[in-house]
Structure 1
Amino acid sequence: MKLAVFGASGGVGRHAVAQALQAGHEITALVRSASAIPIAHPRLHIVVGTFAQPDAVKEVVQGADAVISVLGVRKGDTSAVCTDGMRGIVQAMNAAGARRLVALSAYGASETRNASLFIRFVRRIIAAKMRDKDSMEILVRASALDWTLVRPAMLTNGKRRGGYRAAPTLTPGLFAGLSRADLAAFMLHECSEDAYLRQAVTVSP
């Protein structure tokens, strides 16, 4: 497959790029700096730019069989990275004729905001981040794309175990830890399987 990846330099994004290359896929990624992804590979194409440059975003998605968004904010950043980025991604996909979108969200977003006392507490602590995810989900759902929203359990830097559970109605355990490597594997799998088309799916170990 030809994959477009946004957020490729982040924790989940680096796993997604490495696993996709290992699986034989071709990848185009948008990064702010050419040194953001320390991988050199003939099937990895880097586009240096930002979401303020629509032509760069469109270049990334042009000809893609699927688009993966693993955008996220750095600690302490309260900007609407996911919403602003997704707005550019949706516009670029529409312009380029790309259809399949697999986007990272968060458990506790949208209709899961009141899933438990713990989730309500988390939303108060990271209110700006969760509002950003809520707004991003609204944009995705309103689009005509073939989308899947992925809501993982608490993420860890553990090794890829190759095992996870996924379902739209799944409730992750309070201290369930899903490795970023396993999350990346699920998102790559969903790009080709379409098991949760136009659904929000929770992923947990």
Structure 2
Amino acid sequence: AAAAAISALGPRGGSQPVPLCATASGHVIEVASGRTGFRYVVISAAGVKGPPDTTSFLARLPSRIIRALLGTTYLDKDAEATVLAASSVDWVLIRPPGLTDGPPRGNVKSDATQATGGRISRDDLARFAVLMTTDPTYVRQSPFVAG
């Protein structure tokens, strides 16, 4: 039977963030390496440069501004993306924009190379993450999602 794990961990922030996300993903990958059919789905953030990333400079400009304002907050998620890219495990790194507590809209848009919108409900994001545990569309990619 196929197995999967979903990580929704986020960075702590502050001036000296604990590398929780990168460390946790490293442990999951260590345990899952060599398991046939295993998929690791990670919820990250639109500002993270996910592997492989061919987004143009202009398209990434809003993310660069947010990263400049938030300082070290993204360092752990960047490190996590690096851990995923170096692994042999099938993974999907989901990059949502701002999250809302609103009801699901059911119209999730996704793209591997460019941002697809400004917000997504937590419910729609969770449904997309579960879908990615079996859908092969974005294996070893970092799709942007919005709703």
Q: TM-score, normalised by structure 1?
A: 0.61
Q: Which residue number corresponds to residue 107 of structure 1?
A: 46
Cα deviation for residue 113 of structure 1 reads: 9.5
Contact 2:12/2:18 (CA < 8 Å) preserved in 1?
no
What SS class does the counterpart of residue 91 from structure 1 fall into?
Answer: helix
Quick check: 65-74 or 148-157, which moved more? 65-74
Tell me the residue number matched to 1:141: 85
Equivalences for 1:78-97 in 2 at 5 Å?
78-94=17-33, 97=35
Matched, 1:69 2:7: yes
Deviation above 4 Å: which 4+ runs of structure 1? 74-77, 111-114
Q: Which residue in the other structure is 2:139 paired with? A: 197
| Structure with the greater alpha carbon radius of gyration | 1
Unmatched 5+ residue regions in structure 1?
Answer: 1-62
| 1: CA distance, partners of 2:111 / 2:121 | 17
**Corresponding residue for 1:165?**
109
Q: Is the 8 A contact 1:101 1:145 kept in 2?
A: yes
Q: Which one scores higher on RCO, CA 8 angstroms, separation ≥ 6? A: 2
The one-character-per-residue Cα deviations of 1:135-174 (angstroms, maximum 9, x if unpaired) are 100100110011111001211111112111011023244x
SS across alignment from 1:102: strand
Displacement of 1:118 in angstroms is 2.4
More strand by share: 1
Q: Which amino acid aligns with 2:24?
A: G
TM-score (norm 2): 0.83
Q: What residue is the counterpart of 1:129 in the other structure?
A: 73
Unaligned runs of 5+ in 2: none
Report the CA distance shift for 1:79/1:64 in structure 2 as closer, same or farther (over 3 A): farther
Whether the 8 Å CA contact 2:10–2:21 is kept in 1: the answer is yes
- Say if 2:12 and 2:73, in contact at 8 Å, map to a contact too: no
Q: What is the aligned residue count? A: 140
Aligned-partner Cα distance in 2 for 1:113–1:145: 27
Instruction: Tell me what 2:125 maps to.
Output: 183
RMSD after superposition: 2.2
User: Is 1:113–1:120's contact at 8 Å kept on the other side of the alignment?
Assistant: no
